[in-house]
Amino acid sequence: MLKVAVFVSGNGSNLEALLRKKLRGGQIALVVSSNPSAYALLRAKSHQIPTQTLCRKDFFSQREFEEELLELLRKYQIDCIVLAGFMLILSPFFIQFFPKRIINVHPSLIPSFCGEGFYGIRVHQAVLDYGVKVSGASVHFVNEVVDGGEIIAQKAINLSKNETPQSLQKKIIKLEHQILPKALQTLISQIKKEKHGK
């Protein structure tokens, strides 16, 4: 069984979608939150998943924070990571230890409306301000460019005439819940294949 860590910061509805999916060959072995009051922590506990909270502000530097994070992942023998509403940007130092082993879900059609500063409701506000007619959700590998790694899955939706950022957010999070568990399953299967040789 491959071990997956899910990094969260808030509500954790994507985490819930992952916990409800029956993963073949993998299990969610750890949930890490950057926020001690994240509702996601309660979701994890109700599924009996171990949780850890690591606050960036408790560390002198990003490097020290990430070293602690790496230590934790080693302890739980984590093979891959899902960023599911994780509000911190991981540095290249951290990412190098998990090449093509970290995936992220983003509430727009990458490469539009993504990168630094595009998070939460701001993404949907920017979509409406621009006037695009289609938006959606993306899952991608995490590399050193924010929201810049290879795209794994996307799902699009047409905007309605009286769309608001809030209505769009509600629609798009449902798409995220569909594509993220599938993308994780694909990653697990890929890693297993690599491990057992082609």
Active site residues: 106
Residues contacting ligand GRF: total by CB under 6 A: 13
Token pair of 149 as six digits: 């790694």
C-alpha distances out from residue 158 to 117, 129, 131, Å: 24, 15, 12
Considering only 7, 10, 44, 78, the residue that binds ligand GRF (CB under 6 A) is: 10
- The CA–CA distances, whole Å, from 90 to 11, 46, 103, 146 equal 20, 28, 12, 9
Q: Which of 5, 6, 7, 12 binds ligand GRF (CB under 6 A)?
A: 12
Interface with ligand GRF includes 149 (CB under 6 A)?
A: no
b/e per residue 138-150 (b: at least 16 CB within 10 A): bbbbbbeebbebe
User: 157 forms bridges with which residues in the sheet?
Assistant: 135
Site string for ligand GRF, 107-146 (x = CB under 6 A): x---------------------------------------
Is 173 a residue that touches ligand GRF (CB under 6 A)?
Answer: yes
Residue ranges that bind ligand GRF, judged by CB under 6 A:
10-14, 40, 84-85, 105-107, 173, 176
